[in-house]
Amino acid sequence: MKKIYVFDTTLRDGEQSPGVNLNTQEKVEIALQLEKLRVDRIEAGFPAASPGDLAAVRAVADAVKNASVIGLSRSREQDIDAAREALKDAQDPCLHLFLATSPIHRKYKLRMEKHEVLETAEAAIRYAKKYFSKVEFSPEDAARTELDFLCEVTEMAIRAGATVVNIPDTVGYMTPAQFGNIFKTLREKVPGIETIQLSAHCHDDLGMATANALAAIENGAEQIEGTINGIGERAGNTAIEEVALALETRQDYYQAKTSLVLNEIYRTSRLVSKLTGMVVPGNKAIVGANAFAHESGIHQDGMLKEKTTYEIISPETIGLKESKLVLGKHSGRHAFREKLIDLGYELNEEQLNTAFSKFKDLADKKKDVSDEDIRALIEEKLVTIPETYVLNTIQVSYGNQSVPTATVRIDTIEGEVLEEAALGNGSVDAIYKAIDKATGEEVELGDYAIKSVTQGKDALGEVYVVLQQDDISVQGRGVSTDILEASAKAYIDAINRLIDKRKTPGSGRRDKMSLI
């Protein structure tokens, strides 16, 4: 396997993401985690940019012992001197010099001719070599530079003493075929190319950063540059974790791999996300929340039979414990049954059908259905008492300057539909008075309690009521994402239990069947 070096620029190019501003302590914390991840090279910042950046690069250089620490520098002696000061105590320092080479940059930004670019870059590399044994040179916007001139620049950099020549696709313009051809051409045409490492630095403006980095590897690149989570200028940089896992998963094709400790990837991703404030999208490859989550019933069924049907990477590889079968409206019966078994519920076919139907109803209302949602649903719905009344609909009108009004529609066991409306002191009181009118039951509300079953704004609410009629006392329970609906369900549940107790005096509690 060809070794691919990993140059991490999270602390430099990644920090250039709009809104990101890492302090020295945060940079050191990320750098130490990158060291655990075992990246080969850490670009800690741009020392000449400010005294604060110089101090941060120095702090990283002091802290990191097992990776090369790099400072960025323009092709100016004062920049090189600033980097030299920042990296003076580094175990393995490296200077990263750059100068633009593309026609558009030469004309509008530098206002230089080709020969001036060559002379300036060569002078900077030779000056840097007085103080650094390792110097990387980047012809900025190399991807849009004339290929013949890029060969000339690379040859000059080798002659001047560069140890790495980096080819940046600075604006994410290249296609994989075009970018790969640059490396192929440099390998074929530049004398002495075998004495240095070729590196690829890609941006994701057209969504091709990872593909371009892999194309570079196929055509002779020995180093890739990128960031954790793909953060960086504009649309970001190559996501290091994507390249590493592509090489790991497709070793048969690429015949190359990094030295990264892959099970540190997820932890590193979370740390970078937390300290930069840049949230990782759920659908982000490798480290997104949904990367190892399956909701589709077809996918869940395949996963339960054989994980490789829908997973080409195991979650343990990047440091996660397991895949997630997310229960939602697309989930199938197989996954639902397995979840119930995992929670300790063994149901017969009839019970499973009832529970699955109610689960689907809940899934239409909730984005994600949690374990606690499932427990609440099972405990609420699988009861042995006959349902004399079933809530059909409720409608509540409420305002702080008006009297609450509730309309309820209730189905009876005989198939009759009862509909009544009532006023109340509050929404719940109005609902309960309407239910009393519809059912004709005279009861006293002994207790009413609400609690949240699950987390979040769409959490399930659970309502308990105690109803008393003469010497009979019953408890009812209702669960819903709408607390008024849960209140109505709890009240009707209690009335059903009351009626059942009247029919079978002395029967005692027969609330819930054994599910385990």
DSSP character string of 3-60: E-EEEE-TTTTGGGSTT----HHHHHHHHHHHHHHT-SEEEEE-GGG-HHHHHHHHHH
pLDDT in tens, 233-271: 999 999 999 999 999 999 999 999 999 999 999 899 989
Q: How far apart are CA 237 and CA 209, in angstroms?
A: 7
- Are 453 and 459 in contact by the 8 Å Cβ rule? The answer is yes
Alpha helices, H only, 344-460? 349-365, 371-381, 427-439
pLDDT at 383: 47
Q: pLDDT higher for 5 or 288?
A: 5
pLDDT at 512: 32
Please enumerate in sequence order all residues whose Cβ is within 8 A of that of 178, keeping only pairs 6 or more positions apart, or say none.
Answer: 143
Domains assigned to the chain: 2-276 (3.20.20.70), 293-381 (no CATH), 389-503 (3.30.160.270)
Task: State the number of CA atoms in the 13 A half-sphere of 438 facing the CB.
Answer: 31
- Closest among 103, 111, 113, 109 to 142, alpha carbons compared: 103
How much of the chain, in percent, has pLDDT values that exceed 70?
A: 85
pLDDT at 35: 97
Min mean pLDDT across 35-49, 104-118, 290-304, 493-507 is at 290-304
- Are 179 and 169 in contact by the 8 Å Cβ rule? The answer is yes
Residue 39's alpha-carbon distances to 4, 22, 83, 192, 391, in angstroms, are 10, 20, 21, 27, 61
pLDDT in tens, 404-421: 999 999 999 899 999 999
- Please state, as a whole number, how many other Cβ atoms lie within 10 Å of the Cβ of residue 506: 5
Distance of CA 320 to the CA centre of its chain: 12
Q: How far apart are CA 281 and CA 269, in angstroms?
A: 12
